[in-house]
Amino acid sequence: MIFNIDFSKLLQLFTYQEGDPLLFSTSFFIFFFFTLLVLYKIFAYKKSLRIFTLIFFSLFFYYKAVGDYFLILVIMTIANYYSGQILGSLKEGTGNRKFLFVLTLVVNLGVLGYFKYTNFFIQIINDISSGHIDALDIFLPIGISFYTFKGLSYVIDIYMGTFQPVKSFRDFSLYMFFFADLLIGPIDRASKLLPQIQSEINVPRENIGKGTYLIMAGLFKKIVIADFIGLNFVDRVFGDPTRYTGVENLLASYAYTLQLYMDFSGYTDMAIGVALLLGFNIMDNFNAPFKATSIADFWRRWHITLSSWLLDYLFAPLQMKLRNLRIYGTAIALFVTFFLIGFWHGAAWTFVFFGTLHGLYIVISVFLRKPKTLLYNKLKLSNTKLLKFFQILITFHLVVFAFIFFRAFSIESGWEVVGQIVSFFQAGVFMQFVNAYPMIIILMVIGYVLHFLPESWERWTESFVVKMPIVVQALLLTAMILLVVQFKFAGLQPNIYFQF
């Protein structure tokens, strides 16, 4: 026999393997995506076939990530679709309509809560009552936090009367299943994606260049920067902070902040790029977050689709409800929103602490808003570069401080990192560190410099790539894949946001 194919291994590729989802940066994904593109091309003039192909591939993609639990996605899709249909047909202001709306919210949040938070609450009950209820063996299907929010935005918009229910279950299914933003977002909105599915699906020439550019940028961010500094530096320090000096703990905190950004925004870039190649514009999630001049500004630039979701569907109604309390009402609504942003990330005290910290930051800034403006005006600092510089510096460090607890194994361990920085700094170790781990420092500098470059430079690079002939783009992509392979020797790291 010429080809000695091990069919059991081949079968493994097409069946669910625990902890082995179809990451955008795996070779099997390239095969998967290439096959999809070929079929897409064949069905260029048959919209329905294109959509069904995408639905089929998306379900397979999700099955590879969670096995039989992909059925939850299917069931929630059916439930939200029919709820939307009925809500759209009932008269506004009726009791039935309100009841169905609340029921849909409860079902969506109940399913999310069951899979994500049951054991956390069991543990709290155990701690309070010093009793012992056994933890349940619950599998957390990745992506559930993201697609629950996607489904909810559809239903809420219909209830509010700002979006009409879609007639086609096929189109709605693609909105919910679409593999590009299924696992870790961006959390797309029905009002943005569904009209694109309903209209003619085209892939203009510009999409190809832009998509290729974003996939290259994403690969670089995720594998060359995030995975490398994560595995070779951040994991070690955060694994046992007290074994390292304050300098190393501080550098690891900066490194983790960069790693999280490069990891998550890198995956998002790839998701947006992949979607562009299929003719869809999905929402962006990041806008140079460390250039933020305040914590509020940071959340307008970081994980934008999550923060804007909570802003529209939680903060705004809450703020409206509490409006008679004026600034105090706004403060309460903000604190609740940020507390839940923390809790959304996972059932752990570290995330609750992270959310609470950001809640406190933002509440304090609300009360300082007026006095700060007066002070800046008095000192003639308003709109000066000096002020902006310090605002960015302070905001960045507040963000880094909160991320220490986001990363740490426990709140105590987070305080250990802070403790080492404050009481055992050992500045002299810095040069030793640079000499011992030049690659870490180089990658951190590259990462932060790239992030802080003017936006116009990135636009220019992007349009430069877009204008290149396709052959050159393909060569560039190949070169990037080769570079990435060089860095992958350390093993492929799952995306940090998979756990949420």
Which residues of the shown chain bind another protein in the complex (CB under 8 A)?
A: 160-162, 296, 311, 315-317, 319-321, 323, 326, 329-330, 334, 366, 369
Residue closer to another protein by CB (options 71, 296) is 296
CB of 295 to another protein, least distance (A): 12
Query: Of 251, 259, 260, 306, which is closest to residue 283 (Cα–Cα)?
Result: 306
Residue closer to another protein by CB (options 47, 291) is 291
CB of 318 to another protein, least distance (A): 9
Which is catalytic among the residues 132, 303, 345, 451?
Answer: 345
CB under 8 Å, gap of 24 or more: what pairs does 168-172 form?
Answer: 168/198, 169/81, 170/48, 170/51, 170/52, 170/55, 171/51, 171/197, 171/198, 172/77, 172/80, 172/81, 172/84
How remote is the C-alpha of 492 from its chain's centroid?
18
Interhelix angle 144-160/95-129, nearest 10 degrees: 150
CB of 319 to another protein, least distance (A): 5
Residue closer to another protein by CB (options 42, 320) is 320
Lookup: tokens for 43 = 């069905």
Residue closer to another protein by CB (options 94, 410) is 94
H helices of 408-494, in order, are 411-423, 429-436, 438-452, 455-467, 470-487
**CA-CA distance, 117 to 121, in Å (whole number)?**
6
Cα separations (Å) of 442 from 244, 429, 466? 20, 17, 28
Residue closer to another protein by CB (options 132, 326) is 326
Query: Of 280, 191, 208, 80, which is closest to residue 466 (Cα–Cα)?
Result: 208
Cα separations (Å) of 424 from 235, 242, 399, 405? 20, 9, 22, 19
**CA-CA distance, 209 to 192, in Å (whole number)?**
22
492 DSSP assignment? P
CB of 321 to another protein, least distance (A): 6
Lookup: tokens for 165 = 């229910």
Active site residue 345: yes
Residue closer to another protein by CB (options 29, 159) is 159
CB of 409 to another protein, least distance (A): 34
CB of 292 to another protein, least distance (A): 14
Active site residues: 345
